[in-house]
Amino acid sequence: MRELRALEPDFWRAPSAHNTQPWTLTYDGDEVAVGWDPARALPVSDPTGRDLRLSLGAFVECCLIVCADAGLDVAFRPDPGPLRVGFLHAAERRYETPFTTADVRARGANRGEYHGGRLPEEVAGAMEGMRRLPCRDLADLLHAADLHQFGDRRVTRELRAWLRLTRRHRRYFLDGLSDRALALTRAEALGLRASLALYPALRRLGLPRVLAGASRGLLDYDGDVLVLVGDVTEEVGLGRALMRNWLTLSGLGYTTHPLSQVIDCEPTREVLAGRLGVSDPETLLHVARVGRPKSPSPPSARCRS
Ligand SMILES: Cc1cc2nc3c(=O)[nH]c(=O)nc-3n(C[C@H](O)[C@H](O)[C@H](O)COP(=O)(O)O)c2cc1C
């Protein structure tokens, strides 16, 4: 357990919605409970806990990969309970994985520009539980979802609480979404800060339209969007699959830019399900564009490093 605890900074490289890093590890004898801190959940924008459980699954996968690379035989036993998804425990055998700690460290979201070009068939086909669509097929849905998101006062307020748009923010290097992670220029970050500060006054005057306009054109190129489709009761396991997919892509030089707003907004989720031929829109669990980025993005902040 002491050896496992020493690996925590690498576990913490796992991705999480809004970079909330919601996970907790509670050491008890020869087991470690994997849980979450409710203060780091997103009750308004993630009311069902979908992104929370996907993030915890991604975290579990990171833990297992990092332990295996360090020579520790550790397994995960799902056991949902209050503020808990399961336990890491000593195992008979090493976790079998093609990934390493270096892969976990190298992965990162990239919200900048991507080169045109679709994923090769064999790469798209190797993605677990993912369906793909051409970017342009989602451009209208993204705009509608952004309008919906920025039109909602409570969702926007919750997002704002996790934005770190100036280095002077006291949590800039710890968590949340920085100007750099969001690929904003200094002027754009300043503009976003100012408009969000004035949001209550400007909401009725069309601010949501202006904010949503920022992502106009984001999907107007020849690229791919991947959609994770699966059983809502398997979200932790699917979060682990999502992490493996991201690591596979990252190892091949691709990055991802999640666009959860498209499935957070009920009407756009329903249209997307129809376009994919999926009968139950609730089974759409994650959406991200994927491709070769034109420039690298800086590593995102972590509370523990
Ligand atoms: C379940 C889940 C949902 C996410 N949704 C979004 C999203 O809608 N928009 C976005 O820009 N990033 C999204 N992200 C990416 C996180 O913001 C990102 O993982 C986090 O900021 C840490 O950065 P990193 O992935 O570069 O380490 C999501 C990540 C996860 C795991």
Whether pLDDT at 305 is above 80 = no
Number of residues assigned to the chain: 305
pLDDT tens digit sequence for 19-51: 999 999 999 988 999 999 999 999 999 999 999
Ligand 1 centre from 90 Cα, in Å? 30
The rounded distance, in Å, linking the Cα atoms of 281 and 269 is 6
Query: In this predicted structure, what is the pLDDT of residue 216?
Result: 84
pLDDT tens digit sequence for 178-224: 999 999 999 999 999 999 999 998 988 888 888 888 888 999 999 99
How would residue 290 be classed by pLDDT, with cut points 50, 70 and 90? Answer: very high
Given ligand 1 and candidates 42, 300, 303, 304, which is best to mutate, with the most ligand atoms within 8 Å of its CB? 300
- Give pairs for 67-72: CB < 8 Å, separation 24+: 67/4, 67/7, 67/95, 68/94, 68/95, 68/96, 68/97, 69/100, 69/101, 70/3, 70/7, 70/101, 72/3, 72/4, 72/7
pLDDT tens digit sequence for 100-138: 999 999 999 999 999 999 999 999 999 999 999 999 999
* Mean pLDDT, range 6-21, rounded to an integer: 98
* Mean pLDDT, range 226-251, rounded to an integer: 98
- CATH architecture for residues 2-106: 3-Layer(aba) Sandwich (3.40)
Parallel/antiparallel/unpaired status of strands 163-164 and 177-178: parallel
Going from the C-alpha of 76 to that of each of 83, 114, 128, 239, 243, the distances in angstroms are: 16, 36, 19, 13, 15
Give 98-118 as a DSSP string.
Answer: S--HHHHHH-----S-B-S-P
Q: What is the 3-state secondary structure (H, E, C) of 257-279?
A: EECCHHHHCHHHHHHHHHHHCCC
Ligand 1 centre from 95 Cα, in Å? 26
Closest CA to 109 of 262, 256, 273: 256
* Mean pLDDT, range 61-86, rounded to an integer: 98
Query: In this predicted structure, what is the pLDDT of residue 208?
Result: 87
Domain ranges of the chain: 2-106, 121-291
How would residue 91 be classed by pLDDT, with cut points 50, 70 and 90? Answer: very high
Residues with CB under 6 A from ligand 1: 15-19, 51, 54-55, 58, 108-109, 111, 177, 181, 258-261, 286, 300
Residue whose CA is at the smallest distance from ligand 1 atom 29? 17
Given ligand 1 and candidates 19, 179, 192, which is best to mutate, with the most ligand atoms within 8 Å of its CB? 19
Atom of ligand 1 nearest to the CA of 15: 19
* Mean pLDDT, range 150-168, rounded to an integer: 96
Whether pLDDT at 168 is above 80 = yes
Given ligand 1 and candidates 12, 13, 16, 247, which is best to mutate, with the most ligand atoms within 8 Å of its CB? 16
Ligand 1 centre from 16 Cα, in Å? 5
